Structure 1
Amino acid sequence: MANPEISTNERWPGLIGQYKVNTALQYDRTYTNVQAWGYEALAKKRNHRSSGLTEDLKPVELFKFHLGEIPDEEKPSLPSSLNYKKAITDYLREIGKVEKSPTHYVAKDTIHICWPNVNFMNNVLLILTIPAEFTDKAKGIMRECALNANLISTLRSSHLQFTTEPEAAALYCMKVSSEYFDNLVGKSFLICDCGGGTVDLTARTILEDNKLGEITERTGDFCGGTYVDREFVRYLRGKVGSTAIDLLIENYYDQYQYMIQKFCKHVKLPFTGDRNTFKLVEFDLAEYCKVIKQYVKGEEKLILEEDEWILELDFETIKSMFDPVVGRIIRLIRGQLAAGGNCSAMFLVGGFSESKYLQSRIKEEFDSRVKIIAVPRQPIAAIVRGAVEYGLKINTIKTRVLTYTYGVDCSPEWTDGDPPERKTSKGRIIKFFEMVKRGTRVEVDQEFTERFVPVFPDQTGITFSVYVTKEYNAVYCDDPGMRLLGTLSIDLPDTHLGLNRPVLYTLSFGQMEINCAAKNQITGDIYNTTFALDLD
């Protein structure tokens, strides 16, 4: 299929004409069965009655954030009886039920690449996009959830592949970059993917034969468009009281969501940051969230009744909702430009990239350093369309930059100068043996190989603990920031050869997931090797 047609899915349960669907689920009372998902899970209660939904249960949202390395207090709360892995699994299962298109199509969070007249389970490549800051453990959990959702038949199925959101966006932008450059080879560009929850950045360069190389380490943060919504809610708490907001969320979550949607439509999206053209915004609480009036008490109620429940949002108030979020995005961009050197263009994608204020702040800050700062067509669909491009031509990605230092535990003999308290009863010391350093640019099929020999003549296997760290020069496996990634197990047959069994074990880090292999250095025999991620 030389130039396959890519169609973006626009038909979801209860929603037509939108490229993305809400990451939300509505369960029954026991949180066992999904009764609605996506937009329908957030629909107003009058719509719930017709579908038989329990009206006093809040929908479950943003559960994928539990995979991110953010403080627990920043993670969305979940019902005590619901595990985030089950929520992810249930959502993937619902996505998998979306009607299959005869051409390639895409869906939010999960991207299916389908060919006509084939069995979905066995012949479809499933691409999962993940934020840049997700760890190998997070990928392992996503793979586990995809298996439990019956999207793949085995845990290590090759029918499931990962790409990061900025990488997928970069593939999309590479395809549209011909609109901005006559000669693409050698051009470098920065992708700033501004989504709802996360902002992910990656610097890329276009190589010969339409290959894409990564220049800098991928970076990201939880500072997407929904954090502007949070600032609005923080402002509301100051006007109506925190208790009123808490009760509203607890008892009328659909009305709370409706009010947020009105904020986005009438305040967030229209705000440009141009003081000269700005007009005072009157936000009518009585119209957008009438039920909140019953929860407002005391002085706040007297003030709001006098103002007829209308909040006057002036320029500085709205700007103050954006600035903490926009400031974090600008700092991320500044760091990428400092690390990546010359940049031919910057592309803003994702739903939040359509904010005129965000665009103007970025251009104001960086237009002297980057000649082209642009928002390509369909920025909200850039990731999903780029992910399909990735699935069609996985070898388009030539290099990636590692965001972690990888290594294994080793036990050399303890020597003078080593910490005395680390000396084992056998006169050895457990250290971190670095295999590849954070920031290394690696080919996607590049292998890192080490040699070892059995310690005992009758040894039938060996096990390594694989560790990752953000540090560049780690020494011990219990250093701060060190994390156990998983366990590498290698079978050692041919015990009749005793210690004469030098083994080469190989780890590959260029793909989105770690691959491993081992063989006898003398005979070339391939040994059975497994790598089990630590998912606890």
Structure 2
Amino acid sequence: MKDVQWCLTVPAVWDERAKQQMKICAEKAGMVKGPNCPDDAASSPRALHIILEPEAASAYCQQQAQQNLTLKLGDKILIADVGGGTIDLVVHEIVELHPSGGASKVKEVVASYGDIGGGTFVDARFFNLVSEKIGCFSEYCQNVNPNLEVHMYSWWQGMKADFQGPGDSGEYDLGDSGLSKAWKKYDREHGVLREDDHYQQLLLTDRDFCSIFDPEIDKVLGLIEKQITNVRVLLVVGGFAGSPYLRKRVNRSFRNVVEEIIIPTLPGRAICRGAVELHMRKTYIKSRISKLTYGIHASRDVQAGDPPDSIETDDDGRLTCKNAISIFVRAGEEVEIGKSTEVSYSPSVHDQLSMQIALYSSPRMYPRYTTELNARKEGSFVLDMAEDVELDKSRKVKVRMLFGDSLINVSALRCNFGSDKEEHGLAVKFQSTGDGDPNPVTNELATLKFP
């Protein structure tokens, strides 16, 4: 395993906590070394690379562009990754061209966006419709024949992959099965009288199929519509993009809006292949748009409008706000890969022995407090400050936040005290507690003080 480089693709709509949880799961599975990796696991020493799925698809698109698509600087590409449970979209603008064709570097135009939805939601609608048609279906599968649902699911996957649109229908043969008899009995008990032949098969009309597919496809089209203006190329990938009906509706909706619509023959593989390409070309993504505002929990001098329950008197007799957010990047700002933001802090109390570095996020552009609505603690770590305590509040800690990567990295460096001048807390680690708050701040640990 020492020569294996693991790359895990995740939906773009996942937040930082979900990405970190995936990293922890990879360690627990013994894939990569880390604090959660079993001691006896033959794990890879190479760091796990988390890759956003629509970005992987974008890299795949550039591979294809080098072969049969002419692109130019400033062209915008909308990538829609329509998978089983999520619909992820990103818009990239080409900022650098490869000599052999295609983009060698792109930037995000708007923050990646999306919604839950896709193939598994279509499956759920199918079974809901079956239960509407056969009133005893769920009870029969649960109490009499659990395997029937599995068999019907297998049949449905074939029908889902073949459905072309209005005009197509399908039948599931029940024959003289137990479900056929149970269905007939159920209808009789509820005053429904039908011919015996009706219970020999489950019939799905084209209207039934459309009622199953259309809500999810309409969702996909609506999400694409939000950012399709000024886009030259539309790329649709993901498992559900293999649906002929989805392909038809995408082409019908946007063929006169964009110059090129690309839906690969095997759209599910595009992400896997693109992920490998993206790992090999780490400079492909130049910058992203921050979805959220990120900052550090800190204290500062009191200001007009500060909530009374956040105001306290420090050990020098000064009024301070204990729940302020020190902003590093704001929602909607462009953040360049590999670039970092640094802010210096000092202890908020005399003789402080440790400092909690707590990362908060907010969907608002100008949040002020960690306690306000929608402010969320993403994670934290502790920096030891037990050395050179005599320097008191003159001790300086530099906190660095690295944005743009698929994970947010936060580190802290002792500037003018202590024997260890190495950066600590290389990445925010999320450890779920019983109430869902990772690494909650304890009462013994003072927060940071604005310089």
TM tier, shorter chain?
0.7 to 0.9
Cross-structure match for 1:441 = 334
Q: State the distance in 2 between where 1:494 and 1:329 align.
A: 58
Cross-structure match for 2:112 = 218
Cross-structure match for 2:92 = 204
Map Cα deviations across residues 130-164 of structure 1 (whole Å, 9 max, x no partner): 11122221122212211121111224965211011
Change (3 A) 1:150 1:521: closer
- Does the 8 Å contact 1:172/1:389 carry over to 2? yes
Which AA in structure 1 matches 2:226?
Answer: G
Which AA in structure 2 matches 1:229?
Answer: D
Cross-structure match for 2:429 = 532
Which AA in structure 2 matches 1:160?
Answer: L
Cross-structure match for 2:206 = 315
Q: State the distance in 2 between where 1:263 and 1:304 align.
A: 25
Change (3 A) 1:445 1:271: same
* Equivalent of 2:292 in 404, 425, 433: 404
Q: State the distance in 2 between where 1:417 and 1:294 align.
A: 71
SS state at 2:162 partner: coil
Deviates more, 1:229-238 or 1:360-369: 360-369
- Does the 8 Å contact 1:178/1:184 carry over to 2? no
* Equivalent of 2:162 in 270, 273, 291: 270
Q: Does 1:431 align with 2:431?
A: no
Which AA in structure 2 matches 1:170?
Answer: S
- Does the 8 Å contact 2:21/2:430 carry over to 1? no
Post-superposition shift, 1:305?
3.2
Q: How does 1:62-461 map to 2 (within 5 A)?
A: 120=1, 122-155=2-35, 158-208=46-96, 209=98, 210-241=104-135, 243-249=136-142, 252-266=145-159, 268-273=160-165, 275=166, 278-279=167-168, 281-286=169-174, 290-293=177-180, 295-296=182-183, 297-299=185-187, 302-303=193-194, 305-337=196-228, 341-424=229-312, 426=314, 427-429=319-321, 430-456=323-349, 458-461=351-354
SS state at 2:305 partner: coil
Q: State the distance in 2 between where 1:333 and 1:260 align.
A: 29
Q: State the distance in 2 between where 1:311 and 1:191 align.
A: 38
Q: State the distance in 2 between where 1:512 and 1:487 align.
A: 18
Q: State the distance in 1 between where 2:79 and 2:178 align.
A: 42
Cross-structure match for 1:69 = none
- Does the 8 Å contact 1:249/1:256 carry over to 2? no
Which AA in structure 2 matches 1:272?
Answer: Q
- Does the 8 Å contact 2:356/2:382 carry over to 1? yes
Q: State the distance in 2 between where 1:232 and 1:424 align.
A: 58
Q: Does 1:464 align with 2:357?
A: yes
Q: State the distance in 1 between where 2:119 and 2:431 align.
A: 32
Post-superposition shift, 1:332?
1.2
Flag structure 1 segments of 5+ consecutive residues without an equivalent: 1-119
Change (3 A) 1:389 1:259: same
Q: State the distance in 2 between where 1:162 and 1:246 align.
A: 42
Post-superposition shift, 1:380?
1.7
Q: State the distance in 1 between where 2:162 and 2:153 align.
A: 14
Q: State the distance in 1 between where 2:350 and 2:307 align.
A: 31
SS state at 1:411 partner: strand
- Does the 8 Å contact 1:190/1:202 carry over to 2? yes
Post-superposition shift, 1:526?
3.0
Deviates more, 1:491-500 or 1:476-485: 491-500
Change (3 A) 1:497 1:413: closer
Q: How does 1:12-51 map to 2 (within 5 A)?
A: none
Change (3 A) 1:247 1:411: farther
Post-superposition shift, 1:520?
4.7
- Does the 8 Å contact 2:361/2:376 carry over to 1? yes
- Does the 8 Å contact 1:518/1:526 carry over to 2? no
Post-superposition shift, 1:424?
3.2
Please report the RMSD computed on the Cα atoms of aligned residues, expressed in angstroms: 2.7
Aligned-residue sequence identity (percent) comes to: 28
- Does the 8 Å contact 1:129/1:164 carry over to 2? yes
Give the TM-score taking structure 1 as reference length: 0.69
Q: Does 1:479 align with 2:366?
A: no
Change (3 A) 1:501 1:250: farther
Post-superposition shift, 1:126?
0.5
Which AA in structure 2 matches 1:357?
Answer: Y
- Does the 8 Å contact 1:485/1:534 carry over to 2? no
Q: State the distance in 2 between where 1:253 and 1:449 align.
A: 58
Cross-structure match for 2:444 = none
Which AA in structure 1 matches 2:77?
Answer: F
Deviates more, 1:387-396 or 1:148-157: 148-157
* Equivalent of 2:382 in 489, 503, 510: 489
Q: State the distance in 2 between where 1:250 and 1:217 align.
A: 48
Deviates more, 1:499-508 or 1:217-226: 499-508
Q: State the distance in 2 between where 1:432 and 1:323 align.
A: 44
Q: State the distance in 1 between where 2:143 and 2:74 align.
A: 54
Map Cα deviations across residues 441-484 of structure 1 (whole Å, 9 max, x no partner): 21121101112123345333311321122333323212222221
Post-superposition shift, 1:180?
4.5
Which AA in structure 2 matches 1:292?
Answer: L
Cross-structure match for 2:101 = none
